[in-house]
Amino acid sequence: MSLGILFWALFLVGAVGILGAIGACATLLRRVRPLADEVSFVPPAPAPLSLIVPLKGMDEHTEEHLAALVTSRFRGEVEYLFVMETADDPAYSLCTRIRALHPDHEIRIIFSGPPGARMGKQHNLAAGAREARYSVIGSMDADVRVAPTTLAVGMSYLAQPGTGIVYFLPGYTNPTSSGPGGGELVALYSNYYFLANFGALTLTRPQPAIIGALWLIRRATLQTIGGLDQFTRVVSDDAAIGKAIARQRLRCVLVPHTVSIPFESLDLAGGRRHLTKWIAMLRAEGLLTYLTILLTWHPIFWSALALLVGLVSLAADHSRWWLPGLFLFGIAALTRVITGMLLNARIYRLPVLPLPLLAVVYELVGVPVLFGAGLFRRTIEWKGRRYRLGRHGVIRGTSG
């Protein structure tokens, strides 16, 4: 391949990525807003709800999040199921305190037992679903903070015809440090890359996948797809549940409102390990999916490569391709920073800067390192356990 063909191929990929970033940002700004903006009226729930929170350990935000959940404004019957493996879990004493502080709410603590070779979160979810009493079953991660009307709004979307499952867009908010660290690395990847692109795509055309931070499903639908136990052997139940719903010709519906997740208290090495886990899970979904994400989500990286090829061609045969390459690189960096600032101000309620500036460094350094290694990674670490992955995230072995 000549330098000219290589340059214009990279230029085209970078340009497509810029248009994609602009389109994703525009879609989210038009369609999504934080649920705190909702009016105070809470509609009656169309069905009673069993909301499961799978737990393993706790952090400084867990009590606040569980308290916000159980004090939701919900006009209907609702039970809250806190599921952990054993009473030895540090979260057990916290859950008993939450239950004691809210005696007027239906709160149960369930022990799921050792997960064995299964994924811990999905193992807890399946145990909770078996104990659930009501006709709608939901799941919420313990690091999610809901607004008072989140559950009620989710139930109203689930009641729409043709809906199989509804889920919310989780955004990282409330940074815990003033400088760049692992929490910032995780948040910028999630907010500006994964959530922005996947959220915009599914709002435009529903996809056979969900985001697992908070979701609701009818018990009858769950029984139709075969229950939750089948998903305990995969690390990414989000994709597996979504595909099972789509096979029933039902829609996976993204509720166009956010729930919040606090920045994680991680150093840079911890943030890198966290992203390594997510990227390995993307790779497990298939090489085509992985390469599509790599090519279309990172315009700064590809435009930088185009600029580099242009500079090489200048030295080789005095070609002036570096000029359009430099222009494209500047537009890509500017697009990423401006779209990040807009998303911070309107969707995630974050300070407009400095997080979007870190996206430039992430694409130039993090993308080649993390996505390059992800091509060959077949194991992840999660909650102290190591999982060996097969195709589509199926667990082939565990240790730890």
The SS3 of residue 69 is: helix
> Residue 105 has what pLDDT?
95
Query: Is 107 a member of any domain?
Result: yes
Contact 122/226 with Cβ under 8 angstroms?
A: no
Query: Is 40 a member of any domain?
Result: yes
The SS3 of residue 267 is: coil
With cut-offs at 50, 70 and 90, classify the pLDDT of residue 399.
confident
> Residue 1 has what pLDDT?
57
Q: Same structural domain for residues 173 and 307?
A: no
CA angle 190, 187, 330 (to 5 degrees): 80
Q: Same structural domain for residues 319 and 218?
A: no
> Residue 326 has what pLDDT?
96
Q: Using one digit for the tens of pLDDT, what is the confidence trace for 372-384?
A: 999 888 888 877 7
Q: Using one digit for the tens of pLDDT, what is the confidence trace for 182-193?
A: 999 999 999 999
With cut-offs at 50, 70 and 90, classify the pLDDT of residue 178.
low
With cut-offs at 50, 70 and 90, classify the pLDDT of residue 24.
very high
Any idea what DSSP says for residue 393? G
Query: Is 385 a member of any domain?
Result: no
- Rg from Cα positions in the chain: 22
- What is d(CA 396, CA 400) in angstroms, rounded to the nearest whole number? 14
Query: Is 275 a member of any domain?
Result: no
Query: Is 177 a member of any domain?
Result: yes
> Residue 387 has what pLDDT?
82
Query: Is 154 a member of any domain?
Result: yes
Domain that holds residue 250: 33-266
Q: Same structural domain for residues 215 and 138?
A: yes
With cut-offs at 50, 70 and 90, classify the pLDDT of residue 152.
very high
Q: Using one digit for the tens of pLDDT, what is the confidence trace for 305-338?
A: 999 999 998 777 767 788 999 999 999 999 999 9
Q: Same structural domain for residues 140 and 233?
A: yes
Q: Same structural domain for residues 75 and 166?
A: yes
With cut-offs at 50, 70 and 90, classify the pLDDT of residue 209.
very high
> Residue 38 has what pLDDT?
54
Split into its structural domains, the chain has a count of: 2
Work out the number of other CB atoms within 10 angstroms of the CB of residue 290: 18
Peptide bond into 354 cis (omega under 30): yes
Q: At 215, which CATH number?
A: 3.90.550.10
List, in sequence order, every beta strand (DSSP E) within 97-224: 106-111, 136-140, 163-173, 214-218
> Residue 118 has what pLDDT?
81
Q: Same structural domain for residues 294 and 332?
A: yes
- What is d(CA 126, CA 231) in angstroms, rounded to the nearest whole number? 8
Whole-model pTM? 0.92
Q: Same structural domain for residues 160 and 246?
A: yes
> Residue 237 has what pLDDT?
82
Q: Using one digit for the tens of pLDDT, what is the confidence trace for 236-245?
A: 888 899 999 9
Query: What's the mean pLDDT in 150-162?
Result: 94
Query: Is 135 a member of any domain?
Result: yes
> Residue 321 has what pLDDT?
84
Q: Same structural domain for residues 246 and 306?
A: no
Domain boundary (266, 299, 319) is at 266
Query: Is 396 a member of any domain?
Result: no
Q: Same structural domain for residues 300 and 203?
A: no
Q: Residue 395 pLDDT > 90, yes or no?
A: no
Query: What's the mean pLDDT in 258-284?
Result: 91
Q: Same structural domain for residues 16 and 87?
A: no
Q: Same structural domain for residues 74 and 203?
A: yes
Q: In percent, how much of the chain has pLDDT > 90?
A: 74
Q: Residue 252 pLDDT > 90, yes or no?
A: yes
Q: In percent, how much of the chain has pLDDT > 70?
A: 96
Q: Same structural domain for residues 13 and 54?
A: no
- What is d(CA 248, CA 251) in angstroms, rounded to the nearest whole number? 9
